[in-house]
Amino acid sequence: MGFNPTRVVDAGCGSGRFVASIARRRKDLQIVAVDLDPLQTILTRAVLKVLGAVAVTVLQADYTGLDLPRCLDRTAFIGNPPYVRHHQLTPDAKEWAVRTARRLGLRLSALAGLHVYFYLATARYARPGDLGCFVTSAEWLDVNYGHALRRLLLDNLGVRALHLVDPRAVPFADAMTTAVIACFEVGSAWPTVRFRTVGRTADLHQLDGGSEVSSDALRRASRWTLTLSARDGTIEDDTARLGEIARVHRGLVTGANDFFILSRDRAAELGISAWCRPAIVGADEILSSNGIIRDAPERRLLLDVPPSINRSAHPELDAYLRRGEEAHGDRPPIDSRYIPSHRHPWWFLGHWRPAPIVVSYMARRPPRFALNPDGLAIVNVAHGIYPKRALSPDELKALVVRLNEARDSFRGNGRTYHGGLEKFEPREMEALRFSAKGIL
C-alpha cells in the first residue's frame, strides 16, 4: 500500500525484525514496539539504537492492555501476533476479549486464540485513516471461531487485502501451519477485498497483485477460502455439510474390550474364529492411515455373536462365553459389568453393518477419514460414515479426499478439552462443512 504513516506500532515485536527493517529506511519514523518478553524488548532496543532510529518507544507490556498515546497523523499497526491457543489463555484474558468484542458489536467464541485478541486490541487503538498489516496462521478464515475476526476485519478494521500463503510454502519455520497476511485501512467499508495466493514466501516482498472479491460475498460466506478462491466473489457454492451426504454413527461399545477383542491366534486357539470379525480397535490406526484402512494378519478381531445362536450346538463358543459369566479371583464376571448387564444377551454387541468410511473423532489432531473397503468392524474409538445414497468407489474415494483436505478447517467445531484434545460427537461431525465437488 502506498501510504505514509507517521508512527508504526509493532504488536509483539520479538527481537525487532520488523521495526529494524523500517528503521533502515526511515530513521525519523515514530516507532512503538511492544513485547511481553523482557529479553525481546532488550534486543529490539539494541537493534534500533544501532540503526540510529530517533523516535523510539519500546514497551515491555501486554499488547492487549496498552494505553497508547494519540497520534495526530496516521499510525500503521504491524505484527506477527503470537499463536497461543485458547486453552493456554487465562480466564481474565478471555473475559477481557469477550468484553472488548461486545463493545465492538461482536460475539467472540471462547475458542478464539491470542492472535484474535491482538486484532481486537488493534481495533480499540486504531483511528480512522490508520493502517495495518498482520501476519497470522490462516485457519481463522474458515473456522467457526474466526467469525468474529472476519466481521471485525470487514466492518471495523476495513480489510483491503489478504495474501494467503500456500501451505506447502511452510511460512513459519517452527510450525506446520498456513499463513495469511491481512492488510487493513480503518474507517471505511471497502466494497472489495483484494485477494492473492502466494506460492513462495519470497513473493511476499511486494504486497500487490491479486483479484478483487466482493466484501458482500465475504459477509455472506461462512468460510472465506472458498469465496476468495472463486476470484470474482460470486460464491460458487460447492460446499455441503457432511450430514447432507451421509449419516455418522458411533462404533460398537463392548463394555469389556479385554474379553471382546482378541488376536487372531487367540481366537483360533479358543476355536471361536468363526464368530470373530476383523476390527479397528485404536484411533491411531485411522490417524496414521493414508486415507484407506485394510484388513491384515495382525489386525485384531471383535467377538461378534448373533443373538439367536444355539450355544449348546457350539461347545467352544459356549465355553468362552461361560468364562464371561464366571468370576475370576477377585474380578467379577464380565456379564455383571454395567454395559454387558444392560444387553440381551449380554454378549450381543448389537446389529451393525460395515461403514464404508471411518473417522477418528477424539484426538489432539483434527479428525482423519479413511476408506474401509474390507468392511472392518469399529469399536467406539471411531465413528462410521454411512452415505445416504449408494456412492460409487470413485465417489467414496473423492469424499474421503475432500474430507481429509478440509480437516484443518474442522478444528474448533467439536468440544475441546484441556490439553487441546478435541472430540466430535456424530451430530457435530454431520455439521462439518467442506467442499463436496464431485460428490454432490
Ligand X SMILES: C[S@@+](CC[C@H](N)C(=O)[O-])C[C@H]1O[C@@H](n2cnc3c(N)ncnc32)[C@H](O)[C@@H]1O
> Applying CB under 6 A, which residues contact ligand X?
12-15, 17-18, 34-37, 40, 62-64, 79-80, 82
Of all residues in the chain, what percent are helix, strand and coil, respectively (each to 5)? 35, 25, 40
Closest among 299, 396, 320, 404 to 359, alpha carbons compared:
404
Question: Least separation, in Å, of the C-beta of 93 and ligand X?
Answer: 8
Decide whether 35 or 335 has the Cβ nearer to ligand X. 35
The neighbouring-strand residues paired with 78 are 10, 133
Decide whether 14 or 384 has the Cβ nearer to ligand X. 14
Residue 286 near residue 251 (C-beta atoms within 8 A) = no
Decide whether 66 or 398 has the Cβ nearer to ligand X. 66
Question: Least separation, in Å, of the C-beta of 6 and ligand X?
Answer: 21
Decide whether 79 or 384 has the Cβ nearer to ligand X. 79
Question: Least separation, in Å, of the C-beta of 422 and ligand X?
Answer: 23
Closest among 437, 426, 358, 347 to 394, alpha carbons compared:
437
Match 506447502 to its residue by C-alpha cell. Answer: 168
Question: Least separation, in Å, of the C-beta of 64 and ligand X?
Answer: 6
Closest among 134, 137, 138, 89 to 111, alpha carbons compared:
89
Residue 123 near residue 157 (C-beta atoms within 8 A) = yes
Examine residue 345 and say whether the peptide bond preceding it is cis (omega within 30 degrees of 0). Answer: yes
Residue 242 near residue 434 (C-beta atoms within 8 A) = yes
Question: Least separation, in Å, of the C-beta of 168 and ligand X?
Answer: 21
CA atoms within 13 Å, Cβ hemisphere of 153: 28
List the grid coordinates of 145: 471461531
Question: Least separation, in Å, of the C-beta of 350 and ligand X?
Answer: 50
Q: What angle do CA 413, 419, 424 make, to 5 degrees?
A: 30
Decide whether 81 or 367 has the Cβ nearer to ligand X. 81
What one-character-per-residue DSSP string does 346-394 give?
TT--------SEEEE-EESS---EEE-TT--EEBTTEEEEEESSPPPHH
Decide whether 36 or 240 has the Cβ nearer to ligand X. 36
Helix, strand, or coil here: 77?
A: strand
Decide whether 62 or 166 has the Cβ nearer to ligand X. 62
Decide whether 36 or 398 has the Cβ nearer to ligand X. 36
Question: Least separation, in Å, of the C-beta of 82 and ligand X?
Answer: 4
Question: Least separation, in Å, of the C-beta of 121 and ligand X?
Answer: 9
Question: Least separation, in Å, of the C-beta of 225 and ligand X?
Answer: 22
Q: Which long-range contacts (CB under 8 A, 24 or more apart) does 42-46 make?
A: 43/14, 43/15, 43/16, 44/10, 44/13, 44/14, 44/15, 44/16, 44/19, 44/20, 45/16
Decide whether 37 or 166 has the Cβ nearer to ligand X. 37
